[in-house]
Structure 1
Amino acid sequence: MAKKPLPCPTVLRQLLDYNPETGVLTWKHRPTWVYKPKKVSPQTRANRWNATWSGKPALNLVRSGYKGGSIFSVTVEAQRVAWAIYYGEWPSDRHIDHINGDPTDNRICNLRLATRSQNNQNVRSAKGSSSRYKGVAWDKSRGKWTAGIKHNYKRHNLGRFDCEEEAARAHDAAALRIYGEYAKLNFPPAPL
């Protein structure tokens, strides 16, 4: 079965309001052209839909931490819809990265295009990790902290350290060198 195409940004703008300052998507009053004639007239179906959904927040189902939902039976992520409405085009095959790491914060200032590698860099330390820092783990056999970073699908060892914080700083230096602005740092610089 062929995958259904995504609605074009022009259609999205007819169906949804997007507030770029809050990141909230809201359903607009639905026109009758959306509905095909069936037993119940398109006007009646539009009236029913509008009475229930018009003006209400849209695409708020959270799956795997991201907001999303469906439009015309096509599953979509809210950040991609926000991008398409704001910029007038779908973000092609690139990922949308949430700069602050919060996948539910869809303000346009918090969204940026990223490669898969850049997007994967902007994640927190795994739950249940032996360290509170990203890229750091305890090596029981040697009694030291190890630092590492993944790049181009390979893990690179950055060394062993007596101090957990030293290992975290080694990770941060490598992350800045490799990922630049996309790096998720353990010790972010203080804002100016």
Structure 2
Amino acid sequence: MTNNKNKIRYKDVLTQEVLLDLLEYDKTTGKLTYKPRARKYFKSTSAYKTFAKRFEGKNAGSVTVDGYLAVRILGYTVKVHRLIIKMLTGQWPICVDHINGKKLDNRWSNIRSCTYSDNNRNQRLQRRNKSGYPGVYWNSRITKTGVDRGYWRAQAVIRDDNGKLSKKNLGNFKDLDEAINAKKDWDEANGYHPNHGRIV
């Protein structure tokens, strides 16, 4: 069994200096490309030559199952947006927000280092949402006679900086617009991004 204490974390290996030596980033396009890589990064000359032939100057990263770009680098697989933040700021981010909600858009103008709670304040509208605004949903209450005496509920989902979720009921409304306005007022008062609730 491997002792976890002996494992070297990617954050310790992939320093800003190393990443800038290995990768090229275009702020305008968001593209990350492989730079020519020194022999010292390879265990063998054949691996060194193979890398130069197959990857040098080409786009870095492939799409993961969760829709983001990730790169396999020096034995570690890391999301591209995290690498970019580290390269340009020298700090590993807690979380990265794609401002327009497009996971593959890694332009510098579209990504920001943030906390989990900040990221939760800029979410796209979920496909199953029927109200047209996040945090507002129909709470059905069917009577024995088959009449639905339900209401629109405005609800906030709060994620703290440790990633823990909790819910806050903002009120129950017969009118959809009133429920949406209640949620919008809460969002504005709590620093939600203007893009929150966008349709991507």
Q: Structure 2: any 5+ residue segments left out of the alignment?
A: 142-148
- Asked if the contact 1:172–1:185 (Cα under 8 Å) also holds between the matched residues in 2, the reply is no
- Asked if the contact 1:28–1:55 (Cα under 8 Å) also holds between the matched residues in 2, the reply is yes
- Asked if the contact 1:175–1:183 (Cα under 8 Å) also holds between the matched residues in 2, the reply is no
- Asked if the contact 2:122–2:196 (Cα under 8 Å) also holds between the matched residues in 1, the reply is yes
Correspondence 1:90 to 2:95:
no
Deviations 1:53-92 (A, max 9, x none): 11111023233122112211112111111111222x1325
Match of 1:25 among 14, 20, 32: 32
Deviations 1:12-63 (A, max 9, x none): 1111110011111011122211112xxxx42x32221111111111023233
Name 1:104's counterpart in structure 2: 104
* 1:50 partner SS: helix
Name 1:135's counterpart in structure 2: 135
CA distance in 2, matches of 1:131, 1:182: 18
Percentage identity across aligned positions? 30
Distance 1:86 1:124, change over 3 A: same
The equivalences for 1:71-90 within 5 A come to 71-87=73-89, 89-90=90-91
Correspondence 1:68 to 2:70:
yes
- Asked if the contact 2:122–2:193 (Cα under 8 Å) also holds between the matched residues in 1, the reply is no
- Asked if the contact 1:61–1:69 (Cα under 8 Å) also holds between the matched residues in 2, the reply is no
- Asked if the contact 2:70–2:78 (Cα under 8 Å) also holds between the matched residues in 1, the reply is yes
- Asked if the contact 2:24–2:32 (Cα under 8 Å) also holds between the matched residues in 1, the reply is yes
Pairwise CA distance, 1:3? 4.5
- Asked if the contact 2:98–2:106 (Cα under 8 Å) also holds between the matched residues in 1, the reply is yes
Distance 1:180 1:124, change over 3 A: closer
- Asked if the contact 1:16–1:27 (Cα under 8 Å) also holds between the matched residues in 2, the reply is yes
Name 1:121's counterpart in structure 2: 121
Deviations 1:137-187 (A, max 9, x none): 111113321111122532111222233333223212111111244771469
TM-score by length of 1: 0.82
Q: Structure 1: any 5+ residue segments left out of the alignment?
A: 188-192
Name 1:190's counterpart in structure 2: none
Question: What is the total number of aligned residue pairs between the two structures?
Answer: 180
* 2:196 partner SS: coil
CA distance in 2, matches of 1:75, 1:56: 17
- Asked if the contact 1:121–1:182 (Cα under 8 Å) also holds between the matched residues in 2, the reply is no
Name 2:19's counterpart in structure 1: 12
